[in-house]
Amino acid sequence: MTASSVSLRHDEARERASLLDVTACEVELDLASSEETFASRTTLRFTSRGGATFVDVKPRELRAATLNGTRLDPGALDRGRLPLATDAGENELVVDAVMAFRTDGEGLHHHTDPADGRRYVYGMSFMDAAPSVFACFDQPDLKAPYTFTVRAPRDWTVTANAPGRAVEPGLWRFDESQPLSTYFVTLVAGPYHHLRESHDGIGLGLSCRQSIARHLEADADELFTLTRQCFDEFHRLFGIRYPFGDYHQAFVPEFNAGAMENPGCVTFRDPLVFTSRVTRGTRIQRATTVAHEMAHQWFGNLVTPQWWDDLWLNESFAEYMGNRVTADVTEYGDAWVHNAHRRRQWGLVADQRPTTHPVAGNGATDAAGALQDFDGISYAKGSSVLKQLNATLGDDVFLAGAVDHFTRHRFGNATMHDLVGSWERAGAGDLSAFVDGWLRTPGVDDLRLDRAAGAVLRVPPAEHPADRSHTVRIATAEPVGEPVGEPVGERDGEWDVRTATLAGPSTPLAVGPDTAVVIDAFEDSWSRSAPDAATLAALPRLLRAGGDPMLRAGVWNSLRTGVHTGAVSPEQAADVVAAGLGPEQDDDGVTVVGGWALGRLRAVVDDPAALDARVHAAAGEVLARATLGSTLQLAAFGLQVTSSADVAGLRGWLAGDGLPAGVELDEAVRWRVLLRLAVLGAVDAAYLDERLAEAPTAVARVEHARARAALPTAGAKAWAWRRFTGEDTAANYEVEAAGLAFWQRGQEDLTEPYVERYLAGVPRLGDVFSGWLLGDVVEAFFPLTARRSDVVERVRDLADRAELPGPVRRRLTDMVDELERRL
């Protein structure tokens, strides 16, 4: 949404859906005539009950519009809406417009590859963006089949939701698609490099920019294998075939999300084409993303939520099924461990913010506000809740309900109540308690050990009380030399593991005064728990003893929760990290826990340089025992770079001297070292500019922005700030990178004046940024280093200003909560 448009409200969507049924949408685009704009002609056919409504269109210029042959006044266009007086029965609307290419990852995004100067575009129609490409009734429950005709430069290929072909040089026609919601409609156009295969009657494709083609080819076998394995498993689970024709996966530049599930043409952010060596955890992330987007072909595409208050019907299911299928049928059987490290805290923190919301019925009053609910609650919490439900119902009932849901609402729209009804018909019984406790009530229960009472206490959040039971595995470990006693369940090294159902406010659990206890150690339920003093004292020894990777992830997450809630001091957590990180065997554990220590902990410990040194030493311990060339070695070396204070050593690595055997000085390593040198003030802006000029790739351009913004100079901060104000324009990735690197601890003398500038500038951000990027800029540039109560109060006052866009107020509220916790 921009200053010249307004976001659709739920009540408006209901009214329009009660009036209209869209039968066809034909779109003609001319992408060849200009690098700034494109011509867009839309023909919409629909039936109406008769009456007034509006069509959504956000053009640079509205050239003409006719409804049933009668010309409409282009001047009537108001904030992205053109009024219509529809006839009862059949109607035809034709809209002829000039649209602007965008660089914010939405609409029809335009990118010029700095590596070779080639131009690429792709469509992202999500959440208020479709009308900047074509005229439409932009809401999820007015589906229609789409037919595209696209004129493009002759050396371009064009891919869309349905199969298509070049009927003459530069002119592409596409078959009519299945019924689609507007937010699924896409095309990917440019001199993309294409790879094609087929599997089980489905045409498979991959594409990327030419400058990274060799990297896509290097990973094509893995990507095609993942795609085949996931298709086979989803077909086995659901017994309903993928219904959208071909399945193309396009890796596109400067994409805001991880990926978008457009039927027939899924778009992914192209850093997922790895141009440097990456850790196993990063490969798991890509694999689960592939599976996640494929899950959407059923959960979201075949059956779509009626409105964004049921976003969980898309994202919670895709998150759960994506992780499950990846773990079950691909080489990445440890996908749930990865999920524990990378996603659990994202959801837990979101569920403890003032802006927490239910998994289902999230209260999305308009599309722009709903965009902010694409968060850790809709993804990570929803996934956990569904995993719990599946464990309770069993696969037969869980999947039978899903299949009933798909069958009843095929190519249509549905609600939470529709799905719950399908589960109950499949044999789930009365699910009202599950719906009320887990789906409709926000917040996370605190599971606390009361040693004196010999019990685990279940404490719901006071502002969102609910009666929820938790079936969890509790890990306990006795002090060194103490007898273990009678077995209580599984045994994992130093740990005893027992299963318990915490069904009331208090559940008996008798343990010794020095027994280490981790509640929900394997993250079987959606809960939070922090280590108490006795457990905290034992964790350094226990983490050094190794153990199951999932249990270790649960231990690390309990520590992170303790810091977030204030139950564990940053210094205590630093002691555990310093002792326990060195024996870590999982590269996600090294990357995530080490990154958390150098980020969240470093921001609040008394002596950040001492913390850097301790993390550096722990990373060195991992590095010393890691296999040469392994991803564990790569993760440890990356952590060493980020924690290093040795300028001479860093410069040596940059020159290729002294690198550990098995570590390559590739693009990612080079820019990691450059970023660290920039933070330390050991390079200047001219030096960074020269390094970018030597190899001006899309990755380097983003990392250059990050490094320049991190420099401890007034000029660097002014350079970055011009991207916040819009005085200097930059693509979305570069703007966000500059913001995230701007506020460095130890540079407060340079950044202090920008606290006031941030507070003054936020109300004007809606004139510069829109959609996804608007919220991201608010968060990326937030002054988290300004840990002062007066800043907390002023941001709170700012977030209360009703005239600010909803996404701005939402992000401010979240960030001031984080600032207050740090304070």
Q: What is the mean pLDDT of residues 71-91?
A: 98
Nearest CA to 101 among 86, 88, 120?
120
Instruction: Please give the radius of gyration of the chain, using alpha carbons only, rounded to the nearest integer.
Output: 27
Question: Is 308 in contact with 370 (CB distance < 8 Å)?
Answer: yes
Q: Which domain holds residue 8?
A: 1-99+132-171
**Per-residue b or e along 746-766, where b marks 16 or more CB atoms closer than 10 Å to that residue's CB:** ebeebbeebbeebbebbeebb
**Residue 1 sits in a domain of what CATH number?**
2.60.40.1730
Per-chain mean pLDDT for the chain? 96
The torsion defined by the Cα of 822, 459, 342 and 671, in degrees rounded to 10, comes to: 0
pLDDT band, residue 491 (cuts 50/70/90): low
DSSP state of 310: G
| Domain-embedded: residue 697 | no
Read off the amino acid at residue 132.
S
Q: In what helix (H) or strand (E) does residue 754 lie, and over which residues does it extend?
A: helix 748-761
Which strands make up the sheet holding 187-190, listed edge to edge? 107-112, 119-124, 187-190, 157-160
Classify burial at 717, counting beta carbons within 10 Å of its beta carbon; exposed 0-12, middle 13-18, buried 19 or more. buried
The mean-pLDDT minimum among 481-490, 672-681, 725-734 falls in 481-490
Q: What is the mean pLDDT of residues 641-648?
A: 98
Phi, psi (5° rounding) for residue 267?
A: -110, 135
Q: What pLDDT, in 10s, does the model give residues 109-136? A: 999 999 999 999 999 999 899 999 999 9
Q: What is the pLDDT of residue 84?
A: 98
| Domain-embedded: residue 518 | no
| Domain-embedded: residue 146 | yes
How far apart, in whole angstroms, are the C-alpha atoms of residue 413 and residue 756?
47
Q: What is the mean pLDDT of residues 43-50?
A: 98
Q: What pLDDT, in 10s, does the model give residues 226-275? A: 999 999 999 999 999 999 999 999 999 999 999 999 999 999 999 999 99
* Structure tokens that stand for 157 in this block: 């290929």
| Lookup result for tokens 């002609």 | 41
| Domain-embedded: residue 139 | yes
Structurally, the chain folds into a number of domains equal to 1
Distance set, CA 332 to CA 160, 238, 328 (Å): 30, 22, 8
Q: What is the pLDDT of residue 364?
A: 78
Is the pLDDT score of 415 beyond 70? yes
3-class DSSP assignment, residue 249? strand
Is the pLDDT score of 482 beyond 70? no
How far apart, in whole angstroms, are the C-alpha atoms of residue 208 and residue 183?
22
| Domain-embedded: residue 232 | no
Of the chain, the end-to-end C-alpha distance in Å amounts to 34
pLDDT band, residue 541 (cuts 50/70/90): very high
| Domain-embedded: residue 43 | yes
Q: What is the mean pLDDT of residues 387-415?
A: 97
More confident residue, 362 or 757: 757
Q: What is the mean pLDDT of residues 483-493?
A: 55
Q: What is the mean pLDDT of residues 602-620?
A: 97
| Domain-embedded: residue 44 | yes
Question: Is 191 in contact with 210 (CB distance < 8 Å)?
Answer: yes
| Domain-embedded: residue 64 | yes
Q: What pLDDT, in 10s, does the model give residues 197-215? A: 999 999 999 999 999 999 9
Q: What is the pLDDT of residue 4?
A: 62
Q: What is the pLDDT of residue 481?
A: 55
Contacts 24+ apart (CB under 8 A), 480-483: 480/541, 482/512, 482/514
How far apart, in whole angstroms, are the C-alpha atoms of residue 820 and residue 816?
6
Q: What pLDDT, in 10s, does the model give residues 316-343? A: 999 999 999 999 999 999 999 999 999 9
Q: How many percent of the chain have pLDDT more than 90?
A: 94
pLDDT band, residue 643 (cuts 50/70/90): very high
Strands 412-414, 303-305: pairing is parallel
How far apart, in whole angstroms, are the C-alpha atoms of residue 132 and residue 628?
50
How far apart, in whole angstroms, are the C-alpha atoms of residue 190 and residue 140?
28
Strands 265-269, 247-252: pairing is parallel
Q: What is the pLDDT of residue 478?
A: 94
Count CB atoms within 10 A of the CB of residue 34.
Answer: 12
Question: Is 231 in contact with 199 (CB distance < 8 Å)?
Answer: yes
Count CB atoms within 10 A of the CB of residue 361.
Answer: 18
